[in-house]
Amino acid sequence: MKKLVFLLSTCAFILNLSKAQEHTKASEADTLTVVEHLDELTLLWDVESLELKTYQGLRKFCRSSAYRHSITEMLESMHHYDSLLYDMAIEASKQKHAHMKHLIHELESFEKHYGVKQFISHLKEECVAQSELEKHKKDYKKDNGDESYDSKVYVVELELKKYVKHLTHRIDRLDRHVHHLIKE
């Protein structure tokens, strides 16, 4: 519970700070602030993704609106800073920063394939699968092999791990790009 409260308060803090920056031009200080927030969110995601890619984490996501809301808010915050960074990258690319094109491509790909709507849609499918599995748990417990409960849990968990791993990989790549830009 303490972790959830910390996560929610951090997300709220980050969202409040982002609103103040929303209509300002991208200066070096703004870039550093965006980078700092993305770093914080990346660390939070790394912690939360460990639980989320397990069957128990999926169960928690499906059943707890507070947990689901905290994960969704974290991703919305991440996408907000990703959008700010995108605007900064577009502006910098006009000044012929070569690395910006790579960053812009990463940001566009992140938004296209791992946006909040896509995340919620994917996890909703996982929740439906988890719900169906739990509904027929008694029957599956009697089966062996591929039709057993444990086997079906393993398949759901594998799919979940794969998705979270890809999302985490994208988040980490964005983080590396951002830090590379700060060094330039």
178 pLDDT tier (thresholds 50, 70, 90): confident
Instruction: State the Cα–Cα distance between residues 52 and 88, nearest whole angstrom.
Output: 31
**pLDDT tens across 133-176, in order?**
999 989 888 888 888 899 999 999 999 999 999 989 888 888 88
Which residue range is the domain that position 173 belongs to? 2-183
Full DSSP string of 30-88 = HHHHHHHHHHHHHHHHHHHHHHHTSHHHHHHHHH-HHHHHHHHHHHHHHHHHHHHHHHH
**pLDDT tens across 82-137, in order?**
888 778 777 777 766 666 777 788 888 888 888 888 889 999 999 999 999 999 98
- The tokens 């890619």 sit on which residue? 53
Number of domains present in the structure of the chain: 1
Q: What's the predicted TM-score (pTM) here? A: 0.64
How far is residue 135 from each of residues 130, 131, 140, 147, measured CA to CA in Å? 9, 6, 10, 14
Which letter does DSSP use for residue 103 in this model?
H
